[in-house]
Amino acid sequence: MAQGKGSGEGRIALVTGGGTGVGRGIAQALSAEGYSVVITGRRPDVLDAAAGEIGGRTGNIVRAVVCDVGDPDQVAALFAAVRAEFARLDLLVNNAGSNVPPVPLEEVTFEQWNGIVAANLTGAFLCTQHAFRMMKAQTPRGGRIINNGSISAQTPRPNSAPYTATKHAITGEVAAEPTISIEHIAEAVVYMASLPLSANVLTMTVMATRMPLVGRG
């Protein structure tokens, strides 16, 4: 298997929620670009399978570390593991997210509410905090953090109160929604990560051509 020689060669990336869906697609794309990738999530079997498959395809290092990003102690252990093996972190992708089945606000349990806030909001805060500390202390100094957001921050779907709250939204709309391939999102992340630290993509909207709302995700 050929070693990746792309823009990420020699760099270290951490992708939360990296075992499935968009997170897995991002991890795959970063690994193909030469990054050493750490993927994290709550299910060890899913993470191990993803790490084995991605690493087998690219020939680059892919590590699976089990972590509930809403738990401060587990996040601390995650970053300690990254520091112990790689001594630095060049890219954090805050992708982990969760939702509850679509139900009216009054039917959302307190446990469900706390779980969504922990996964979608607290997790991003904790991981970003640790990444800041690590990136400030390492040599060469610096790194990049990419957050996977959602148009729900402005226009939420109905019956999604916990998710909507974590995206700071207050209104919603129902419309038909075309989709796009995960690979397009992953390629956008790789592009943003490949820029020198003197340049930055402030915002980027990757969307299906006929999507009724800009940036619905």
Task: Give the chain's domains with CATH numbers.
Answer: 12-150 (3.40.50.720)
**Which of 84-98, 109-123, 126-140 has the least mean pLDDT?**
109-123
**Residue 128: how many CB atoms within 10 A of its CB?**
14
pLDDT for 19 equals 96
* Residue scoring higher pLDDT (180 or 156): 180
Q: Residues 150, 167: contact at Cβ < 8 Å?
A: yes
Average pLDDT over residues 124-147: 95
User: Could you report the per-residue pLDDT of 25-34, keeping only the tens digit for each?
Assistant: 999 999 999 9
Q: Which two tokens stand for residue 74?
A: 């587990």
Marked catalytic residue, from 65, 70, 163, 164: 163
pLDDT for 72 equals 97
Cβ neighbours for 190, distance < 8 A, ≥ 6 positions apart:
6, 7, 8, 29, 30, 33
Q: Which two tokens stand for residue 93?
A: 């992708």
* Residue scoring higher pLDDT (167 or 182): 182
Cβ neighbours for 212, distance < 8 A, ≥ 6 positions apart:
175, 176, 177
For residues 146 and 91, give the distance between their C-alpha atoms in angstroms, rounded to a whole number: 8
Cβ neighbours for 213, distance < 8 A, ≥ 6 positions apart:
151, 155, 173, 175, 177
Task: Reply yes or no on whether the pLDDT at 46 is more than 90.
Answer: yes
pLDDT for 165 equals 60
Ordered alpha helix ranges (H), the chain: 21-32, 44-58, 72-86, 110-117, 123-137, 161-166, 182-194
Sign of CA dihedral 173, 174, 176, 180: positive
pLDDT for 24 equals 97
Confidence of residue 94 (pLDDT cuts 50, 70, 90): very high
pLDDT for 213 equals 62
> Mean pLDDT score of the chain, rounded to an integer?
85
For residues 120 and 91, give the distance between their C-alpha atoms in angstroms, rounded to a whole number: 19
Q: Catalytic site residue 35?
A: no
φ, ψ of residue 41 to 5 degrees: the values are: 180, -170
Half-sphere exposure of 114 (CA within 13 A, CB side): 4
